[in-house]
Amino acid sequence: MKTYDIIIIGAGRGSNLAKNAGKAGKKVAIIEKSAFGGTCPNRGCVPSKLLIGYAEVSRAIKDASRHFIDASINAIDVQKIFEDTNHYISTIDPAYRSKFNENVDTYDGAASFLSNYVVEVNGQKLSAPKIVIATGTRPIKAEHAKAWTSDDIFPLMSDVPKSITIVGSGFIACELANFFDAVDIKTKLLVRSQSILKNEDEEISAIFKKEFTSHVDVAFDTCIKDIKHENNAFHLTLINKDGSLTSHTSEALLYATGRVANSDTLNLQNTDIKVKANGFIDRDENFETAVDGVYVVGDASGEHMLQHAAAAEVNHVQKILLEEKKTPLKFKYMPHAVFSHPEIASVGLTEQKAKAKGIEYVSISKGWNASAKAQSLRLKYPRTKFLINPKTYEILGAHLIGPQSATMMHQVLSIMHIDNDIRHLKEMLYIHPALSEALLPAAVKAVAAVKKATF
């Protein structure tokens, strides 16, 4: 049996911990059953955003007429797009491995717990008093053997299809459907209800639905009743809410219906680690499991399924393990974005959640066209929505929809993290006429609404 100071299971964000622990003189084992770097750079956030970049250029050309420009696309080399994306992905694993010094041993394979502090990989037993579980999640399995999940797109090893059907209504489904449609691959999105991006604020998701469906073919209240794969095509029987049946055919079928924990691969029944009913691993405020010295970070906990949260959690555990700092990390705010068309950024409460919790709030919504830069976009839908505490001016929720929403949101986040008071957004000086200036009239309206509010 090999003994280490720290064992890390999962080489995504956990790679940074392994690197820094090795530099600090700790003997480290890091285990990865797939590619080093984890989901984000190999199969998720990064390659999907590379694709979105192509989609944005294509959409801009197709929508050029609103700027009185007559433009057309002669050809889109989608094969080249995927070749370029695949090449990027091929560089990730070696780049991550190159970070480690001689104190870090890498293991390629699936880790399995034999006891609280003993892990087996490829028949070899490893032991450490400190173990970090960073195993992330995987896509829910597709409902046909030849159908894809997002793991099959990054990297795409088959020919690029001329048509695709996507099942799902969350951000992964919407981002991928937007890309395929934008680059002229015939795309159909199947949604089992009338809702799309249902976790967003209802006003924002309604705007998104209207704009998104003006480009992408979406079938609402629709499920797949039967799948046949013949002659390199999927022949689908779709069932609608009223029970009627329709037929649809496409070369590819992709499921983007959610993700599940990888805890079932770890044989945690051999330990005292507790697992929640949904399969995610239980932990305390220091990200420690029921076993002393065994931690869980990132998506494996099921708490914040976001890369930026995972990175912050790994950094916190690093302080515990290398600096013996044990102050609990509590995220004040957890922002997210949807990089589709339109783009969405959100932080804090949605209006429906505020109502459900019985929280007092003032809600305002304001378009962006007070900003000349926003006017230059020649779009009517971009909007800012604030939910404000009527007693303290605290921003309870902020929601943006429009180009560069994720970038603009950081201005709001700065205020929220330093001194959460909407009046700062109203009083600060903006560069005129930058796009961020669109936040000013929304802040002015929010402050005025609080002053008028009576509860």
Amino acid at 182: A
End-to-end CA distance of the chain: 66
Amino acid at site 424: H
pLDDT at 445: 97
Report pLDDT for 325: 87
pLDDT of residue 330: 87
User: Token match 């839908």: residue?
Assistant: 381
Q: What is the Cα Rg of the chain in Å? A: 24
pLDDT of amino acid 327: 86
Tell me the one-letter amino acid at 38. Answer: G
- Identify the sign of the CA torsion 168, 44, 265, 156: positive
Look up residue 124 and give its two tokens. Answer: 């070899």
Question: Which stretches of the chain drop beneath a pLDDT of 50?
Answer: none
Domains and CATH numbers, the chain: 2-138+260-323 (3.50.50.60), 150-257 (3.50.50.60), 342-452 (3.30.390.30)
Q: DSSP string of 123-143?
A: TEEEE-SEEEE---EEEPPPS
**d(C-alpha 24, C-alpha 321), whole Å:** 11
* Model pTM score: 0.94
Q: Which residues contact 32 (CB under 8 A, 6 or more apart)?
A: 10, 11, 38, 106, 107, 108
> Coil, strand, or helix at residue 370?
coil
Q: What does the block give as tokens for 442?
A: 């929304």
In this structure, what DSSP letter does residue 236 have? E
Residue 455: predicted pLDDT: 63
- Burial of residue 65, with CB atoms counted within 10 A of its CB: 0-12 exposed, 13-18 middle, 19 or more buried: exposed
